[in-house]
Amino acid sequence: MGPLDRDPSGATAIASGDSLALRCGGGCETWGGKLASAPISLQVQNENKSEGRSLDASILHADLDAFYASVEQLLEPPLRGKPIAVGGGVVLAASYEARAFGVRSGMPGRRARELCPDLIFTGGHFSEYGRLGDAAIDILRDFTPEIERISIDEAFADVSGSTQLFGSPQDIARAVRTRVRAELGLAISIGVARTKHLAKIASQVAKPDGMVVVDPTTELAFLHDLPVELMWGVGPATKEKLARQGIETIGQLALSSPMAMERVLGRAIGRKLVALSWNRDPRAIQTHRRAISAGAQSALGRKPATEAVFRPVLQRLADRIARRLRAKDRPCRTVTVRVRFADMRAVTRALTLPAPICATSALTEVAVDLVRGVLADHIEERTISLLAISASNLGEDPFPQLELPFALADDGRWPGTRKGKLRERADRALDAIRERFGVEAVGYASGVLAGHRTGPDRFRELTEQEL
C-alpha cells in the first residue's frame, strides 16, 4: 500500500520508514512493523530484561486537547468551530481553529489578530478549568489508582494492574476517551507505551482527539522518525542547539555521541536526552510526589524600579506562596527572588534563614530586602518587567521553637517570637475566611494596591503544584 492507501476495512495504513501505523475509525493508531535492524531489537529486549521492566505497553499519558480554549467553546456554544483565544493583551491559550493561522500561547494579542483577523478573544472561566480538569482525572482514576498528575489537564497512569478488570491498556484508553467525551464534552488524546517518555510522545502524535498505542517490539522504529522537539525537555533553545549540530530527528540524536551531546547541552541534559532517544526511561509512576519548592511570579510590562511598585507585587506573590505553605504546614527556610529588567536580563538572589517561616508578612519582608539588594547592585537599571519569588528548603514544622527575648528586637519574622506568632495567627484567620468566601474576600491592603489577579496570574495559579 502507498502512504495513504486504504484497505477494504476502511482503516488507513500510514507507512513511516520500516514502521507501520494503523489508524482505526475511532481515532486509534497502533504502531507496528519491523525494527530497522536486528541489533537494535536485541538491545531493547536485553535492556527490558535487565531492568526487570514489563514488555507490555501499560503506561498511559492522557492530555486534554487545547484544554482552556476547548472549555470556553464548551461553555459558549456560539464559539464552537471558530478561532478563539483566551486572554487579551497576550494569548494565554488558543483553539485549534486559531492555531491553524499560526496563533500560539504567549503571543501578543496584536500579532495574533494580524495572523487571524477573525480571532475572538474571550475571558477565562478559571473555576471551570479546575472543575473539568479534576473531573477528567477522576475518570482516569476509576480505572487505576496509579495516577501521576503533572498538570491541570494531563496525567500518567499505570494500568498494568487493571487489565483483569477492564481489558487491555488499549481498551482502557478507549473507554477513558469515550467517557470524557460523553460526560464532560471534551476531547482527550492518549498515548499508550511501555515508558512514560514514550507514552507522552505518543499522546502528542495522537493529537487532536486521538489515541496512539506503541508496540513495545517496534518502539524505536516509531520513535526515531519523529522530530526531536517532541521529546520532553527539548524547548526552542535546545532545539536550536541541536539543529546547529545537524540533529532534527530523535533517531539522529540517538546516533550522536553522548560526550558530544554533553558538550553541546551540558552534562545532565545531554546524557538524559541521549538515553531517552533510546527509550531508556526507568521512571515509575509517582502517585504521591511532593513539591520541593513553591513559587509565584508576575509579569509587569515595563514599570519603574521603585519600592512603591515592587513592594505591593511582592506582597501579593508572597501571599500566594505563604498560603500554600500554611495549608500543608510546610514552612520554608530559603527564599529566592528573581528580578527581570527591561532588556530581559534577569538577576536572582537567595537567602537561607535560621528558622523556617510561613507568615505572609515575613516572606514579604525577606523578598523586599532581597530585591532592594538586587537594585542596589544594579543602580543603572530603571525599569523592571517581572518579579518572582520561590520558597524552598521546605520542612514540616507545625510547632516552632520559641525564641527567648533577651532584649533582642522582635521584628516578627521568626515564628517563635511573640510578634511572629501573632502574625501567623492572623494569616490563618485570613485563610479560614478565604476558604469560606473566596480568595479575594479579604487580603492585605498593600497586596490589594497591586491590583486584582490578572489573567496570566490566574493561569499560573492553576499550574501550581500540590505541596
pLDDT, tens digit (0-9, with 9 covering 90-100), for 334-343: 999 999 998 8
Instruction: State which amino acid sits at residue 111.
Output: R
Residue among 347, 337, 350, 343 at smallest CA distance from 310 = 337
**Confidence at residue 19, expressed as pLDDT on a 0 to 100 scale:** 35
The CATH class of the 228-277 domain is mainly alpha
Identical topology for domains 1-226 and 228-277: no
Instruction: State which amino acid sits at residue 9.
Output: S
CA distance 54 to 195: 10
More confidently predicted of 374 and 355? 374
Inter-residue contact 7 to 190 (CB < 8 Å): no
CA distance 178 to 197: 24
The pLDDT confidence band at residue 160, using thresholds 50, 70 and 90, is: very high
Among 148, 154, 219, 365, the one annotated catalytic: 154
**Confidence at residue 298, expressed as pLDDT on a 0 to 100 scale:** 85
| Residue whose cell numbers read 482502557 | 172
Above 80 in pLDDT, residue 417? no
**Confidence at residue 154, expressed as pLDDT on a 0 to 100 scale:** 94
Residue among 159, 212, 154, 146 at smallest CA distance from 180 = 154
User: What is the share, in percent, of the chain residues with pLDDT greater than 90?
Assistant: 51
The dihedral region occupied by 106, where left means phi > 0, alpha psi between -120 and 50, and beta the remainder, is left
The pLDDT confidence band at residue 460, using thresholds 50, 70 and 90, is: low
Where is mean pLDDT largest: 1-15, 190-204, 388-402? 190-204
**Confidence at residue 396, expressed as pLDDT on a 0 to 100 scale:** 66
| Grid cell of 295 as nine digits | 513559587
| Residue whose cell numbers read 535546545 | 238
Nearest-5° Cα angle at 113, 109 to 116? 135
Known catalytic residue at 396: no
**Confidence at residue 172, expressed as pLDDT on a 0 to 100 scale:** 97
**Confidence at residue 106, expressed as pLDDT on a 0 to 100 scale:** 80
| Rounded mean pLDDT, 48-66 | 73
Above 60 in pLDDT, residue 119? yes
Inter-residue contact 413 to 406 (CB < 8 Å): no
Q: Average pLDDT over the chain, rounded to whole?
A: 81
- Point out the least confidently predicted range of 224-228, 274-278, 302-306, 462-466: 462-466
| Rounded mean pLDDT, 124-146 | 92
- Which sequence spans correspond to the domains of the chain? 1-226, 228-277, 293-462
CATH domain 293-462 topology: Dna Ligase; domain 1 (3.30.1490)
- Point out the least confidently predicted range of 12-21, 223-232, 274-283: 12-21
Distance between start and end Cα atoms, the chain:
53
**Confidence at residue 376, expressed as pLDDT on a 0 to 100 scale:** 93
**Confidence at residue 228, expressed as pLDDT on a 0 to 100 scale:** 95
Kindly list the strands in the beta sheet with 91-94, ordered across the sheet, starting from the edge strand earlier in the chain.
91-94, 84-87, 120-122
The pLDDT confidence band at residue 43, using thresholds 50, 70 and 90, is: very low
Inter-residue contact 156 to 59 (CB < 8 Å): yes
The pLDDT confidence band at residue 103, using thresholds 50, 70 and 90, is: very high
**Confidence at residue 6, expressed as pLDDT on a 0 to 100 scale:** 31
DSSP three-state, residue 3: coil
**Confidence at residue 299, expressed as pLDDT on a 0 to 100 scale:** 79
| Grid cell of 69 as nine digits | 480554549
| Rounded mean pLDDT, 231-239 | 88
CA distance 437 to 133: 22
**Confidence at residue 464, expressed as pLDDT on a 0 to 100 scale:** 61
Homologous superfamily (CATH) of 1-226 is: Reverse transcriptase/Diguanylate cyclase domain (3.30.70.270)
Above 90 in pLDDT, residue 371? yes
CA distance 363 to 328: 16
**Confidence at residue 84, expressed as pLDDT on a 0 to 100 scale:** 95
The pLDDT confidence band at residue 133, using thresholds 50, 70 and 90, is: very high
User: What is the share, in percent, of the chain residues with pLDDT greater than 70?
Assistant: 78
**Confidence at residue 13, expressed as pLDDT on a 0 to 100 scale:** 26
**Confidence at residue 462, expressed as pLDDT on a 0 to 100 scale:** 62
Radius of gyration of the chain (CA): 25
Buried b (16+ CB within 10 A) or exposed e, 104-134: ebebebeebbeebeebbebebbbeebeebbe
In order, the DSSP letters of 210-256 are: -EEEE-GGGHHHHHHTSBGGGSTT--HHHHHHHHHTT--BHHHHHTS
How many residues are recorded in the chain?
467
Q: Which H, E and C letters describe 285-344, residue by residue?
A: CCCCCCCCEEEEEEEEEEEECCHHHHHHHHHHHHHHHHHHHHHCCCCEEEEEEEEEECCC
| Rounded mean pLDDT, 439-462 | 62
More confidently predicted of 192 and 413? 192
CA distance 223 to 201: 8
Above 70 in pLDDT, residue 99? yes
CA distance 267 to 289: 25
Torsion of CA 325, 329, 331, 336, to 10 degrees: -20
* Alpha helices by DSSP H, 52-124: 67-75, 96-99, 109-115
